[in-house]
Amino acid sequence: MTDNAARVSASRLGMWVAPATAVVSVVSLAVGVSTPVRSGPWCNDGCVVYPYTDAAAFVPRDYLWIYPEVLLVLLFVLLAACLLQWVAPQRRLSAAVAVCFAVIGAAVLVVDYCIQLTVLQPALLSGETEGLSAFTMYNPHGVFIALENVGYAVLGVAFVFLGGALAGGSSRLERAVRWVFTVGGALILAALVLSASIYRAELDYRFEVTSLCITWLVLIVTGTLLTVVFGRALSLRVATQRPAAVSSDALAGR
C-alpha cells in the first residue's frame, strides 16, 4: 500500500473513530463526574468501608460509568492505529510504539473493568462477598485501583509518543493535536510521579481520578480536531479526483 493510499484508508476509518472517541469521552466524563464518591480520600458522608459488602446497595448505579469507559479505551486503540497510517513514514516508528502502549493500557483497563462488571456486580447481588474486598473498586488500596493506575499511566506514555509521531504536521490542526497529546501525556506521567512522591503508600484514588480527567479531556479535544483533519483530507481527495474523472469522460466521448 502506498503512503497516499494508507492515508486515505486512515482518513476513512478515522472519520468514524475520531468523532466516536470525542462523543464517548463526553459521555464517560458526564457519567463519571455524576457518580457519587462512596470511599477514599474524597468521601465525606455515607462512605462504604471495609469489607465493602454494603456496596451491593449501589449496584448497578455506581458501575454505569464503566461501560462507556471500556468502549472509550478500545476506540483510542483504533484512533492510534489510524494515526499510525496517517503520519509521515519517518514518524511511524513513534506511532507504532504509541499503538503498542495503547494496546497494553487498553488491555489492562478492559480486564480490570470487566472484572468489576462480570465478577463483582453479580457477587455483591448474590451475597457472595467473601474474598472480594481486595478486588472491589471501593477499596482505595485494592487491585482495581492498582490496575487503573497502571493502565492510565501506560496510556499517558502512548499520548506522548503520538505527540512525537505528529511532529511536523502540515496543518495547524495537526500541530494542535500533537501538543494536546504531548501535554496531556506529560501531565499524566507528572501526576503519577508527584502522587507517588507525596502520598507514597497512599496513592489510592488521587492519581486515578487525575489521570481519568486528563484522559477524557485529551480524547475530547483530539477526537474533535482529528474529525476535522480526516474530513478535510477526504474532501481534498474528492476534489482532486473530479477534474481527472471529467477529463477521462471527455476523452472517452471523443
Residue 126 gets which letter from DSSP? H
Looking at the chain, the number of H-run helices and the number of E-run strands are 7, 0
pLDDT at 200: 63
Residue 73: which of 12, 144, 151 has the closest Cα?
Answer: 151
As given in the structure block, the three cell numbers for residue 220 are: 475530547
DSSP states along 134-198: TTSTT-TTSHHHHHHHHHHHHHHHHHHHHHHHTTT-SSHHHHHHHHHHHHHHHHHHHHHHHHHHH
How much of the chain exceeds pLDDT 70, in percent? 90
pLDDT single digits (tens) 173-225: 999 999 999 999 999 999 999 988 887 656 668 899 999 999 999 999 999 99
pLDDT at 82: 95
Residue 18: which of 174, 218, 223 has the closest Cα?
Answer: 223
CA 230 from centroid of its chain's CA atoms? 19
Q: Which residues of the chain have pLDDT under 50?
A: 244-251, 254
pLDDT at 59: 92
Torsion of Cα atoms, 206 then 207 then 213 then 219, to 10°: -170
Q: What 3-state DSSP class applies to 39?
A: coil
* 151, amino acid identity: G
Helix pair angle (92-115, 143-165), 10° resolution: 160
Determine the length of the chain.
Answer: 254
CA triplet 90, 93, 96: central angle to 5 degrees?
135
Is the peptide bond preceding residue 19 cis, with omega within 30 degrees of 0? Answer: no
What is the enclosing helix (H) or strand (E) of 30? helix 3-34
Which are the contacts of 117, defined by CB distance < 8 A and separation ≥ 6? Answer: 63, 66, 67
Query: Are the C-beta atoms of 14 and 230 separated by less than 8 Å?
Result: yes
Mean per-residue pLDDT of the chain: 89
Residue 170 gets which letter from DSSP? S
